[in-house]
Chains A and B, each alone.
Chain A
Amino acid sequence: MSQELRYRLSVIAPPVVAIALFFLVWELGCWALRVDEFVLPRPSVALAAYLKWQHAIWPNALQTLMTTIVGLAIAIALGVVLGALIGYSALMYRALYPVLIAFNSIPKAALVPVFVIWFGVGTLPAILIAFLISFFPIAVNVATGIATVEPELRDVLRSLGASQFDIFRKVGFPRAAPYFFASLKVAATLAFVGSVIAELGAANSGIGNLMVIASARFEVSLVFAGLMVVAAMGIALYAVFAALERRLVAWAYRSR
């Protein structure tokens, strides 16, 4: 019983302590070096701003969260399909990999004005940017998972006369699942980055939009409060996927 408690504590305590230390150093550093609040507000000031503006922050935070999740969902759907295609077919791999690399090399922020021209200011550009930025790691990881399926495992299925689709279902998909979840944790945080970047210039709501308005009004502490909310949501989404991963692909983490 107490061992269980001690184990839980050993999981939760280190990150909490690390974050607390980070804020402490920031707080004391600003205080000791007399950093101007308009340049870099202390965390306590940002927290005060958060408490003061809560009711304005939360609707925007939820908007950003929604944008991120929709963008990520599209990225998952297309990333898994494209990843499976590339992982299975050497021809597809040769044909599409350079295209993927090229797309991923484009700075997504540079696409925001283009999307505004195409779709106008609103939620759509942010969803698209979140999708584009998180798509690549998912596709590449799923492709890797499927391309590295042990031929022996495939032979087990083939020797039974299984169809290509059966082989995908029984071997390719489960084999790629750990790769998929690993990429999901990266993709989720990237999707937040994408949403907020797009909201900075191309939205009427969301944390990004809130930050632009706040900085125009020199409410730097509110800008930082917004950043912290985004970071907190990033951790939350990461934790959800990490928990899913631990439940669904435990076999891949057997020695821990």
Chain B
Amino acid sequence: MTHAVPCVELRNVSLIYASDGKAVHALENVSFSVPQGAFVAIAGPSGCGKTTILRLVSGLMPATRGQVLIDGQVVRGPQKKVGMAFQNASLLPWRTALQNVLLPLEVVQPHRAQFRARRKEYEEEAHRLLRIVGLDGFADKPPYQLSGGMQQRVALCRALVHQPEILLLDEPFAALDAFTREELWGVLQDLWTARRCTVLMVTHDLREAVFLADRVIVMSRRPGTVISDVSINLPRPRTLADTFSPQFVDYVHTLYDCIGAARNGSTS
């Protein structure tokens, strides 16, 4: 086997937030790597540093100790090959849903240079994305006229529109009802299969993690460390019917026990 450079790699990463004089130790010695084209889910108790990991990978802030690498290069700042959907949708309130989805194309090269010339085409692409997440007819609505779940779906489209090589998703379906959520699992799986980008997704929903991911990383309570890394060996494409199969249920149980242990375990 060839040793390809992993797409995303964390090496002994620690992070300490130092705000208002108080230090919060969020991550301690986190190491894992994600090969090119893989779909990795991160699960763990609330406040254990999952969002922090995504912020480190996106280059929004530097690690206190250790290194974050993308394609073998140490991350020193934000990169255009990354698309991120934030936990709270963070849509710009003065833009319509469509304009919010178009935002990355106005900023990221090479789209930025072609934005004016190819605007029609880009708008069609944005409309297409909004349609597949079920927001047909909401393109011209401002964020405050959308529900929380709809806003999250717009944020997902915004993360996808510039076809990033690395997709960082922070609980993208948390605000949705079970049926819409499960429908979007299929949508995301299709998108990922078509584009083969690398995905790092934070989720609290273990069925979601098992359905979508190649691997699920489970983290301990704060300060967060990786306590287990479970490969999900289920055939693709996975369907909702598969979620009732014994193997699927077994995986969910295994993860459930891991998280339970993480929640009760001491944070040494």
Contact = CB atoms under 8 A, between A and B. Distances in A.
B82 A174 contact: no
A17 to B, nearest CB: 33
Interface residues of A, number: 21
A40 B263 CA distance: 80
Contact of B60 (A159, A170, A177, A249): A159
B90 A251 contact: no
Interface string B53-94: 001001110000000000000000111101010101010111
Contact of B107 (A155, A162, A174, A177): A162
Contacts of B88: 152
A156 B78 contact: no
Nearest to A166: B107
A153 B142 contact: no
Interface residues of B, number: 24
B17 interface: no
A170 B107 contact: yes
B106 interface: yes
A251 B142 contact: yes
Given A161-B108, A162-B107, A254-B144, A170 B92 contact: yes
A157 B100 CA distance: 11
A159 B167 CA distance: 12
Contacts of B142: 251, 254
B87 to A, nearest CB: 9
A110 to B, nearest CB: 41
Contacts of B86: 152, 155-156
B176 interface: no
A174 B144 contact: no
Contact of A153 (B92, B104, B144): B92
Contacts of B93: 251-252
B103 interface: yes
A160 interface: yes
Shortest Cβ-Cβ A-B pairs, 5 listed = A152-B90, A251-B94, A161-B78, A160-B107, A161-B80
Given A174-B92, A251-B94, 9 more contacts: A152-B88, A153-B90, A156-B92, A157-B107, A158-B60, A160-B104, A160-B108, A161-B107, A254-B144
Interface of B: 55, 58-60, 77-80, 82, 84, 86, 88, 90, 92-94, 103-104, 106-108, 142, 144, 162
19 contacts: A155-B55, A155-B86, A156-B86, A156-B92, A157-B103, A157-B107, A159-B60, A159-B78, A160-B103, A160-B162, A161-B78, A161-B108, A162-B78, A166-B107, A170-B92, A170-B106, A170-B107, A251-B94, A251-B142
